[in-house]
Amino acid sequence: MQMKPPKASAWRENVEAIVIAVVLALMIRTFAVQAFKIPSGSMLETLQIGDHILVNKLAYGLNVPFFGEAVLGGKMPGHGDVIVFAYPEDSSKDFIKRVVGVEGDVIEIRDKQLYRNGEAVRDESYAGYIDPNIYRRELSPRDNMGPVRVPEGKLFTMGDNRDSSSDSRFWGYVDIRELKGRAFMIYWSWDGERMRPRWDRLGNFIS
């Protein structure tokens, strides 16, 4: 009687499938897409506390692990991009803000109004203000600061919740080498006060 070669066990096949799935997931997370959770209200109303977002890690080039800078297909973020980056004062923390100035731009804020290269930036439908008070520049850079020129390889960022955001007005520029990627979609959102999902936010693109 002819003997048939033994088939791979179901256990081995399952292990191989799991290993492949894990490797693919790690590759996607490392090179393509990463998930983040929004912990604060600095980007209201664009992003709510409890939003879970996806970040395109290839938007500004391929980030090679252990080298810390975009090396393939890199490009500079543009005005209005919502980016995730390592906080300049503590690289273990990730921040999310909107780009309002790129290298070479002259940024100034006068009585809460953003000016770029001497022109008032009017198309800021995403920007929100909750405090009617205006601080003099001697007291705080929140409402009045600059003008400053954004250095080469740097970005000037601000939160959409302009009156309640820790951003470049307070701690300076973002180095493009510290970029994690561009936020592009909300895949889950949880309302912690009402203890329920925000179904209407699921799948919304970030702009």
Which residues are annotated as catalytic?
Answer: 42, 97
**What is the Cα–Cα distance from 140 to 53, expressed in whole angstroms?**
31
What pairing do the DSSP bridges indicate for beta strands 82-86 and 145-149? unpaired
Encoded amino acid at 60, one letter:
Y
